[in-house]
Amino acid sequence: MIQDEMRKELVEHLIPFWKGLLDEEFGGFYGYLDSGLQLDKKAVKGCILNSRILWFFSNAAMTLEDATLRKYADHAYAFLKDFCLDKERGGVYWSLTYDGQIDDSTKHTYNQAFAVYALSTYYRAFGVQEAIDIAAGIISVIETKCFDEYGYKEAQDIAFQPVVNDKLSENGIIADRTMNTLLHVVEAYTEYYMATKDKAVEKKLMWVLDMFANHIYNPKLHRQEVFFDNDMNSLIDLHSYGHDIETAWLLERTLEALDKEPYTKLVTPMIRDLENQIYTVAYKHNSIPYECEKGVVLEWRVWWAEAEAVVGFYNAYQKTGEKRYQEAAQNVWSFIQKYLIDKREGSEWYYEVDINGAPNLEEAIVEPWKCPYHNGRMCMEMIRRTK
């Protein structure tokens, strides 16, 4: 059973691995493990990585009903509260040194969203009022400092003045707005809304869904656009397969939380179209490539995109009853088991493998973006969905 396999991966592999990165001396979790499994205890600690670890242990505690995981969630929470937060100006820094000093003081909206996401889950798991109060404060920062008449901004400096958005821009362009940041704002606000039923956040969730339906989604190409200028004009011919299948099930979750028929009618056709398009054009060799730029497919199978494909295809099966999606979810999971999960003792998942399953050993096992969020969430979602 896939549920048993997912539980085994979560309980016997992912959780022990990330427990082992806890930094008892300086707080938080170690930030870098190279492909040779050499741990750098003095590496930069990304605040996104710490937020995702906080989310991971909090959600795992709820999913598995395992109170022993609270120790690790508490440890991540303390680091976020004591070091990642700018207590003077508000918001969350981008990264810290190994001993908790500011490394990069950028206030990126994407990063603020992940802190809200993690704090909201921590509150849902353990009922810590302080955590949801901090989340509310960060939402206030997002809405007053990171939002304008065009939508959500991207990168700002420590005082919330605009800076170049190089952290979330790729493919040779610098974007003023990104689909990725908007996706994780809606993800974070959904989690916060599930915890609080806050009416102001409910209103913003509806605003974001309108943005996806009317500006991000390209119905002619059956995909989302990825990078935009300040006026929300698409900047590049890019189809991000991983983001499209992730968006499909995350927006479904938002629709379920809101339970508002007009938005269900607006967004559901887009979700079904994205799922079908990824299945049709990207699902090959029991996996999906990362993306397609200007008609050229990047054939690397990236850890997070494969994990999202499992959940996304299974969600499509649950909503449509179409067996092709159930089979795709199972086949991608089998691909992950065979190629992406690193069988070496003391490791986790490879960052990416080529079309033949050979790992890219130039990429680290742990770094500021490589975390237990996508693969851990895959396990937890599939445990819940296949009960």
Q: Which two tokens stand for residue 300?
A: 């690397």
Q: Is residue 384 part of a domain?
A: no
Q: Is residue 386 part of a domain?
A: no
Q: Within 13 Å and on the Cβ side, how many CA atoms surround 255?
A: 22
Name residue 298's beta-bridge partners.
291
Q: Is residue 1 part of a domain?
A: no
Neighbours of 237 (CB within 10 A): 14
167 neighbors 94 (Cβ within 8 angstroms): yes
3 neighbors 378 (Cβ within 8 angstroms): no
Where in the sequence is the domain holding 20, given as residue range(s)? Answer: 9-378
Q: Is residue 372 part of a domain?
A: yes
Q: What is the pLDDT of residue 122?
A: 98
Q: Is residue 210 part of a domain?
A: yes
> Which pLDDT band, with edges at 50, 70 and 90, does 109 fall under?
very high
Distance CA(218)–CA(216), nearest Å, equals 6
Neighbours of 284 (CB within 10 A): 11
Q: Is residue 175 part of a domain?
A: yes
Give the pLDDT mean for 61-80.
98
Q: What is the pLDDT of residue 219?
A: 98
Q: What is the pLDDT of residue 387?
A: 74
Q: Could you report the per-residue pLDDT of 267-286, keeping only the tens digit for each?
A: 999 999 999 999 999 999 99
Q: Flag whether pLDDT at 144 surpasses 90.
A: yes
Percent pLDDT > 90 in the chain is: 98
Distance CA(350)–CA(359), nearest Å, equals 6
The enclosing domain of 272 has a CATH number of 1.50.10.10
Give the pLDDT mean for 254-261.
98
Domain count, the chain: 1
Q: What is the pLDDT of residue 333?
A: 98
Q: Could you report the per-residue pLDDT of 278-322, keeping only the tens digit for each?
A: 999 999 999 999 999 999 999 999 999 999 999 999 999 999 999
Q: Could you report the per-residue pLDDT of 346-380, keeping only the tens digit for each?
A: 999 999 999 999 999 999 999 999 999 999 999 99
Q: What is the pLDDT of residue 211?
A: 98
Q: Within 13 Å and on the Cβ side, how many CA atoms surround 187?
A: 27
Q: What is the pLDDT of residue 42?
A: 98
Q: Is residue 189 part of a domain?
A: yes
Percent pLDDT > 70 in the chain is: 100
Q: Flag whether pLDDT at 80 surpasses 90.
A: yes
Q: Could you report the per-residue pLDDT of 37-47, keeping only the tens digit for each?
A: 999 999 999 99
Q: Could you report the per-residue pLDDT of 146-183, keeping only the tens digit for each?
A: 999 989 999 999 999 999 999 999 889 999 999 999 99
Give the pLDDT mean for 123-128.
98
Give the pLDDT mean for 225-245.
97
Q: Could you report the per-residue pLDDT of 178-212, keeping only the tens digit for each?
A: 999 999 999 999 999 999 999 999 999 999 999 99
Please write down the HEC assignment for all residues of the chain. CHHHHHHHHHHHHHHHHHHCCECCCCCCECCCECCCCCECCCCCEEHHHHHHHHHHHHHHHHHHCCHHHHHHHHHHHHHHHHHHECCCCCCECCEECCCCCEEECCEEHHHHHHHHHHHHHHHHHHCCHHHHHHHHHHHHHHHHHCEECCEECCEECCCCCECCCCCCCCCCCCCCEEHHHHHHHHHHHHHHHHHHCCHHHHHHHHHHHHHHHHHHEECCCCEECCEECCCCCECCCEEEHHHHHHHHHHHHHHHHHHCCHHHHHHHHHHHHHHHHHHHHHHCECCECCCEEECCEEECCEEHHHHHHHHHHHHHHHHHHCCHHHHHHHHHHHHHHHHHHECCCCCCCECCEECCCCCECCCCCCEECCECCHHHHHHHHHHHHHCC
Distance of CA 94 to the CA centre of its chain: 16
> Which pLDDT band, with edges at 50, 70 and 90, does 1 fall under?
confident
Q: Flag whether pLDDT at 34 surpasses 80.
A: yes
Q: Is residue 182 part of a domain?
A: yes
